[in-house]
Amino acid sequence: MNNSIDSFVDLIRSQFSERERNEIHEHTNMKLLKEWSSLQTMIVVSEIDKEFGVVLDFQDLKSADTVAQLYNIVLSKKS
Amino acid sequence: MAFFSIENIQLNGISAAVPKNLVSNYTLPGFEKEELEKLIKTIGIEHRRVATEDICASDLCIAAAEKLLNELKWDKSEIEVLFFVSQTPDYNLPGSSMHIQERLGLPKSCITFDINQGCAGYVYGLSLISAFLSSAKISKGLLLVGDTITRLISPKDNSLIPIFSDCGTATAVSYNTSAKKISFNISTEGKDYDAIIVPEGGARKPMDKVSYEDENFGNNVTRKGFHLNMKGLDVFNFSLKKVVPNVEELLNRANQNSENIDFFIFHQANMLILDSIEKKLNIDSSKVPSSLKDFGNTSGATIPLTILTNLVKEGKVINSKMVLSGFGVGLSLASAIVDFNDVITTELIEL
């Protein structure tokens, strides 16, 4: 997987149901999604760990609302 | 991390008892159908065993121990040490191990210990009883590990109810100079002591009227002060970050590699964590058995329960070299390399 924002958005999308997937874009506030929950958070953290080797913590998730903000945190932690 | 090896310790037998009360996650209230299906798929838990009010962890462990001792034909008078590892003792005091000694009919000369440990408790307990037997050259000991952890969970906490389950186990251990050494790698991260906690009811914060008041945390999570509280993401992070390096260091320092290991038995936290650990260690899933589907997360009992429900042939654990790895409350982390050689088992007991 490459490190582009588009790939990251696709990664996040793929963790949601088809119904909600289409609503997810770069600037979507993930916390307003119907399926966003503590379980969904762990699924997303797990997938990001698998793809980027970065384990996000509570503070990271608290400070990121949008997919793009989360992407920037992942990139900064990866470097 | 504390790495050490203990010589002359033989595992002789393993048994387990679960409550017969089976609860299905498919009929959990408070979830939408799709949400429930996703939850079950992610955590890998379909059914759980929940102890009724009349069953304590000590009862489950005693049932497991009685059947195991009978199967092994051990003379109870020869058992000189007993460890009971649990977070759900019968009473705040005395420790449960004393009463277990009496209930099992063990001799007064049998030393007993209560160890307050959870998900890493089996490996912690194994290290303690092994060290005790090996250094004191005591011939026979019993390690009882079990919890009725569901007792600590709020009936209105949909974040924990689908995960936890109850079980008691017994492991018979003896001093044997021809046994292969057991290597351990154990660590504790006390800064995260409150990542999994029952905050009230101890000496730090005794129960008062407020302890009985419901606090609503949203998302179908309501708890009282004396209920189990878990910072899920913190525990998840700990599992993703710390388990693999612990196991890798254990293998390196014991001059082993994952190819030499027949089976990896991890604490059955949930399937998301197990899958992640398996992939990070790059081990074949056939080497990583699980008991999550039918028994859920039984706290410290998951490792022996997983062995019993997956790796038994003709009444014995399949002769093999295993890595056992537990992680959780504390936060604690403990892994061991153990050679299973003619380890007797019993049928799973239902109480």
This complex has an ipTM of 0.83
Answer whether A52's CB lies under 8 Å from A72's CB: no
Torsion angles phi and psi, residue B157, rounded to 5: -110, 90
Nearest to B31, CA basis, from A37, A15, A29: A37
Number of H helices, E strands in chain A: 5, 0
Pairing of strands B111-115, B79-85: parallel
**What does the pLDDT look like over A17-35, one tens digit per residue?**
888 888 899 999 998 888 8
Cα angle B57, B332, B284; round to 5: 90
Q: What pLDDT shows up at residue B1?
A: 63
Answer whether B170's CB lies under 8 Å from B212's CB: no
State the smallest CA–CA distance between residue A6 and chain B in angstroms. Answer: 24
Contacts of B34 in chain A (CB under 8 A): 17
Pairing of strands B229-230, B215-216: unpaired
Q: What pLDDT shows up at residue A79?
A: 77
Contacts of A46 in chain B (CB under 8 A): 236, 240, 272, 275-276
User: Distance (Å, rounded) from C-alpha B192 to C-alpha B190?
Assistant: 5
Q: B48: helix, coil or strand?
A: strand
State the smallest CA–CA distance between residue B58 and chain A in angstroms. Answer: 32
Q: What is the mean pLDDT of chain A?
A: 89
Contacts of A54 in chain B (CB under 8 A): none
Contacts of B159 in chain A (CB under 8 A): 38
Interchain CB distance below 8 Å, A46 and B279:
no
Interchain CB distance below 8 Å, A45 and B279:
no
Q: How far is CA A68 from CA A5, A9, A26, B20, in A?
A: 7, 8, 5, 49
Nearest CA in chain A to B35: A35
State the smallest CA–CA distance between residue A53 and chain B in angstroms. Answer: 10
Interchain CB distance below 8 Å, B276 and A55:
no
Nearest to B123, CA basis, from B261, B3, B254, B230: B3
Answer whether B29's CB lies under 8 Å from B87's CB: no
| Tens of each residue's pLDDT in chain B, 351 residues | 699 999 999 999 999 999 999 999 999 988 888 889 999 999 999 999 999 999 999 999 999 999 999 999 999 999 999 999 999 999 999 999 999 999 999 999 999 999 999 999 999 999 999 999 999 999 999 999 999 999 999 999 999 999 999 999 999 999 999 999 999 999 999 999 999 999 999 999 999 999 999 999 988 899 999 999 999 889 999 999 999 999 999 999 999 999 999 999 999 999 999 999 999 999 999 999 999 999 999 999 999 999 999 999 999 999 999 999 999 999 999 999 999 999 999 999 999
User: Distance (Å, rounded) from C-alpha B90 to C-alpha B348?
Assistant: 23
Nearest to B128, CA basis, from B88, B94, B170, B82: B82
Nearest CA in chain A to B231: A58
> For residue B186, what are its two tokens?
């154990």
Q: Which helix (H) or strand (E) holds A78?
A: helix A67-78
Interchain CB distance below 8 Å, A45 and B236:
yes
What is the value of pTM for the model shown?
Answer: 0.94
B52-75 exposure pattern, b = at least 16 Cβ within 10 A, e = fewer: eeebbbbbbbbbbbbbbbebbebe
Interchain CB distance below 8 Å, B233 and A43:
no
Q: What is the dihedral of CA B283, B284, B289, B290, to 10 degrees?
A: 80
Residue numbers of the domain that contains A34 = 5-78
Count: domains in chain A: 1
Interchain CB distance below 8 Å, A39 and B39:
yes
Interchain CB distance below 8 Å, A45 and B240:
yes
The residues of A whose Cβ lies within 8 A of any Cβ of B are: 17, 37-39, 41-43, 45-46, 49-50, 55-58, 61
B247-257 exposure pattern, b = at least 16 Cβ within 10 A, e = fewer: bbebbeebeee
Answer whether B121's CB lies under 8 Å from B91's CB: no
- CATH number, domain of A54, equals 1.10.1200.10
Contacts of B43 in chain A (CB under 8 A): 39
Closest by Cβ to A58, choosing from B233, B240, B276: B233
Q: B248: helix, coil or strand?
A: helix
Interchain CB distance below 8 Å, B233 and A17:
no
Nearest to A9, CA basis, from A47, A35, A42: A47
Q: What pLDDT shows up at residue A34?
A: 85
Q: What pLDDT shows up at residue B6?
A: 97
Domain B1-351 in CATH 3.40.630.10? The answer is: no
Q: What is the dihedral of CA B229, B233, B238, B244, to 10 degrees?
A: 130
Answer whether B291's CB lies under 8 Å from B302's CB: yes
Answer whether B154's CB lies under 8 Å from B223's CB: yes
> For residue A74, what are its two tokens?
């992942």
Contacts of B275 in chain A (CB under 8 A): 46
Domain residue spans of chain B: 1-351
Answer whether B113's CB lies under 8 Å from B85's CB: no
Binning pLDDT at 50, 70 and 90, where does residue A1 land? Answer: low
